[in-house]
Structure 1
Amino acid sequence: MPREIPPPIRERRSFVSQRFVAVLGECVADTFADPAGARPGELALRVLPGGGPANTAVALARLGTPTRFLGRISDDAFGGLFRAHLGSAGVDLGAVVAAPEPSTLAIATVDDLGQARYAFHADRAADWQWSGAELAALPLADASCLHTGSLALVREPGGALVEHLVERARAGLTVSIDPNVRPQLVDPAVYRARLDRWCELADILRLSSDDLELLLPGVPPERACDGWHAAGARLVVITLGGAGALVSLDGERVRVPAPEVAVVDTVGAGDSFTAGLLHRLAHLGRLGGRLGGLSLAEAAAACRFAAEVAALTCSVPGPNPPWAEQLGTPRQGQGS
């Protein structure tokens, strides 16, 4: 039976490593209806910078982890919004490719429980048009971890090229993958067909209970974890919304609870969880290889911290993750 893990000790006052976490993937313009801003006969939209990988990069940087974003950002008006948002969090944009194609647009509808559903406008968008030369030029030598997933691994023509990059790069760093299944854009069967291969490449697989149901309908989380471990992933984390998260390290499992929070919406919560997990693992010095030395207690403590980060994201509108100071967590270079 899964057992509860006590609250983690607060983080130490310095980072073990100065190496970057590299986040590769898309930026998405998340648009929401804004009734207050509309005149008669109009629909006003509020645009927020989003996209799973971009949200994760912002959350990591706000927590104080050195973060580099690897993406193709359009030169349109949305692209300027993305750059400003990532840059203001402290994300390194030096490797971003300036792209002539348009940005990806998502029209979001939020239900009474704060759950968002999206309609995407993504055909021929900048995010998916990677070339082999662009990916080969990305700086990864000083990275401890490469995080990717979401649409970057499944939208063509770039998806197969990104997967090959992960395969080449994993010798020198930890690989983290979040499938973040988007059935509105890509048939879940495409994810399902590639998932075992991603588990061969990934040290960390983080996904939601919604992802699990789309990938393996009706399969219990514990059984799914066993299959993904057998395929190669060492640490599998399934987030369960208000029920917390299931943490499975090499088949040894615990559940961690979710903090109580007044939910405004859940936009970006999973991305913030991933950022909190990677931040904590970086702090422990566990990134940079195959998670050598990581214990189940450390993984559970990292996930409990990640749940705090996600809860704070849920307490405000949109993908707006917390800063380190909101969690009592020192930013890099502070303290001793």
Structure 2
Amino acid sequence: MPRSLSRPTVAVLGECVADAFTLTSPRPRTDTPPTGLDLRVLPGGGPANTAVSLARLGTPTRFFARLSHDLFGDLFRARLTHSGVDLSACMPAREPSTLAVAAIDDMGQATYSFFADGAADWQWTEAELSAAPLDGISCLHTGSLALAREPGGPRLEEHLARARPHMTISLDPNVRPLLVEPAAYRKRLNRWCELADILRLSEDDLTHLLPSTTPEEACDTLHIAGAPLVVITLGSRGALASLGGIRAYIPARPTHVVDTVGAGDSFTAGLLHHLNTLGRLGGRLDELTIDETIDACAYAAEVAARTCAVPGANPPWAHQLLPTGPH
């Protein structure tokens, strides 16, 4: 099938998170306690990272989010706008932005503290979601905390059900056990599979969602629950794609890993970008082939590798990728 000459819009619905990292430097050993804490704050959040990556790859991208007007909200807007994301559908929020703080110990291990209760990202109302413009959208992608946390999560599920007859639905559970008990994800997993045409999850997600289950067994379980395309990212071992039970392993692209922040989000973006360019998004994926799926995952692996090669969630622009990707 020839590729579509035009690229319909992909919409992303979900949260932004301010990721604050402690800055470490040698300090004289004295009995005087520290009087302050130096932090570096970077814009993040799984859905926001996916939207940024999609736009940088060249897919018209519309972001649905509740953005605060605090300092972090301004930071989010600047990053998204610079990357080319359409923010016209974002809702102004009175609540504060979500903050995650990582404390790094002497061994380089991170302990996270989240400041998320009452934050803007989880307070979606029916009126706000009903006002979200869905014209010209081929695919609606969501997941992560916005779909899992109360009170907004169940409302997002209802919104996906209303949108599903008109577009492809993509979902990434992105389990965050420090904020939401894994049992809450497991309770809603079957419903998410009923709604999703594309389910992208990590091997770490599987340990919480389907404990003691191999990736192959997980694909079967998720297909039975309703998801036609399941892609499980396996870190340095690549990814497993299963289209209606037809499976393929896609190797990871060799890269020098600086960190893996945002790698899964950029993989999802690469997958959706390639499928959108092929003209396969917009419905139930009935014409998608396993060969096209493999090609899309290989392109996604390249996008993820480029993200791992730089600090933080800083996905590549289209011109920085190998010419094997869709144009």
**Shorter-chain TM-score: what band?**
over 0.9
Are 1:31 and 2:20 counterparts?
yes
Kindly state the Cα deviation for residue 110 of structure 1 after the two structures are TM-superposed.
Answer: 6.8
2:185 to 191, 201, 211: 191
1:151 to 142, 145, 151: 145
TM-score (norm 2): 0.93
- Work out whether residues 56 and 271 of structure 1, in 8 Å CA contact, stay in contact via their aligned partners in 2: yes
How has the CA–CA distance of structure 1 residues 296 and 289 changed in structure 2, closer, same or farther, with 3 Å as cutoff?
same
- Work out whether residues 247 and 255 of structure 1, in 8 Å CA contact, stay in contact via their aligned partners in 2: yes
Aligned residue type for 2:272: L
Aligned residue type for 2:14: G
How has the CA–CA distance of structure 1 residues 289 and 135 changed in structure 2, closer, same or farther, with 3 Å as cutoff?
same
How has the CA–CA distance of structure 1 residues 239 and 331 changed in structure 2, closer, same or farther, with 3 Å as cutoff?
closer
Look up the match of 2:205.
Answer: 211
- Work out whether residues 22 and 104 of structure 2, in 8 Å CA contact, stay in contact via their aligned partners in 1: no
- Work out whether residues 67 and 93 of structure 2, in 8 Å CA contact, stay in contact via their aligned partners in 1: yes
- Work out whether residues 99 and 116 of structure 2, in 8 Å CA contact, stay in contact via their aligned partners in 1: yes
- Work out whether residues 114 and 264 of structure 1, in 8 Å CA contact, stay in contact via their aligned partners in 2: no
Q: Which moved more, 1:181-190 or 1:103-112?
A: 103-112
Kindly state the Cα deviation for residue 297 of structure 1 after the two structures are TM-superposed.
Answer: 0.9
Following the alignment from structure 1 to structure 2, what is the Cα–Cα distance between the partners of residues 145 and 241? 25
Look up the match of 1:78.
Answer: 72
Kindly state the Cα deviation for residue 288 of structure 1 after the two structures are TM-superposed.
Answer: 0.3
How has the CA–CA distance of structure 1 residues 205 and 114 changed in structure 2, closer, same or farther, with 3 Å as cutoff?
farther
Following the alignment from structure 2 to structure 1, what is the Cα–Cα distance between the partners of residues 27 and 82? 29
Sequence identity of aligned pairs in percent? 65
1:264 to 258, 276, 279: 258
Q: Which moved more, 1:209-218 or 1:116-125?
A: 116-125
Kindly state the Cα deviation for residue 113 of structure 1 after the two structures are TM-superposed.
Answer: 11
Are 1:168 and 2:162 counterparts?
yes
**Map of 1:4-19 to 2, 5 A cutoff?**
16-19=5-8
Look up the match of 1:274.
Answer: 268
Are 1:302 and 2:291 counterparts?
no
Secondary structure at 1:223's aligned position in 2?
helix
Q: Which moved more, 1:50-59 or 1:108-117?
A: 108-117
Q: Which moved more, 1:104-113 or 1:27-36?
A: 104-113
Are 1:21 and 2:10 counterparts?
yes
How has the CA–CA distance of structure 1 residues 331 and 236 changed in structure 2, closer, same or farther, with 3 Å as cutoff?
closer
Look up the match of 2:218.
Answer: 224
How has the CA–CA distance of structure 1 residues 206 and 111 changed in structure 2, closer, same or farther, with 3 Å as cutoff?
farther
Cα RMSD (Å)? 2.5
Kindly state the Cα deviation for residue 331 of structure 1 after the two structures are TM-superposed.
Answer: 11
Aligned residue type for 1:51: G
For 1:233-253, what per-residue CA distance to the aligned partner results, in whole angstroms no more than 9, with x for missing partners?
A: 111000000000000000010
| Number of equivalenced pairs | 322
Following the alignment from structure 2 to structure 1, what is the Cα–Cα distance between the partners of residues 9 and 111? 32
1:242 to 236, 239, 244: 236
Following the alignment from structure 2 to structure 1, what is the Cα–Cα distance between the partners of residues 158 and 147? 10
**Runs ≥4 residues deviating over 4 A:** 12-15, 36-40, 109-117, 329-332
Secondary structure at 1:153's aligned position in 2?
helix
1:120 to 94, 110, 114: 114
Following the alignment from structure 2 to structure 1, what is the Cα–Cα distance between the partners of residues 298 and 104? 26
Following the alignment from structure 2 to structure 1, what is the Cα–Cα distance between the partners of residues 289 and 126? 37
For 1:135-182, what per-residue CA distance to the aligned partner results, in whole angstroms no more than 9, with x for missing partners?
A: 000011210000000011111110000000000001010000000000
- Work out whether residues 3 and 278 of structure 2, in 8 Å CA contact, stay in contact via their aligned partners in 1: no
**Consecutive unaligned residues in structure 2, runs of 5 or more:** 29-33
Following the alignment from structure 1 to structure 2, what is the Cα–Cα distance between the partners of residues 111 and 258? 30
How has the CA–CA distance of structure 1 residues 157 and 44 changed in structure 2, closer, same or farther, with 3 Å as cutoff?
same
Following the alignment from structure 1 to structure 2, what is the Cα–Cα distance between the partners of residues 90 and 117? 33
Q: Which moved more, 1:322-331 or 1:273-282?
A: 322-331
How has the CA–CA distance of structure 1 residues 38 and 142 changed in structure 2, closer, same or farther, with 3 Å as cutoff?
farther
Kindly state the Cα deviation for residue 271 of structure 1 after the two structures are TM-superposed.
Answer: 0.3
Following the alignment from structure 1 to structure 2, what is the Cα–Cα distance between the partners of residues 51 and 216? 24
Kindly state the Cα deviation for residue 17 of structure 1 after the two structures are TM-superposed.
Answer: 3.3
**Consecutive unaligned residues in structure 1, runs of 5 or more:** 1-11
Following the alignment from structure 1 to structure 2, what is the Cα–Cα distance between the partners of residues 230 and 155? 25
How has the CA–CA distance of structure 1 residues 115 and 291 changed in structure 2, closer, same or farther, with 3 Å as cutoff?
farther
- Work out whether residues 74 and 101 of structure 1, in 8 Å CA contact, stay in contact via their aligned partners in 2: yes
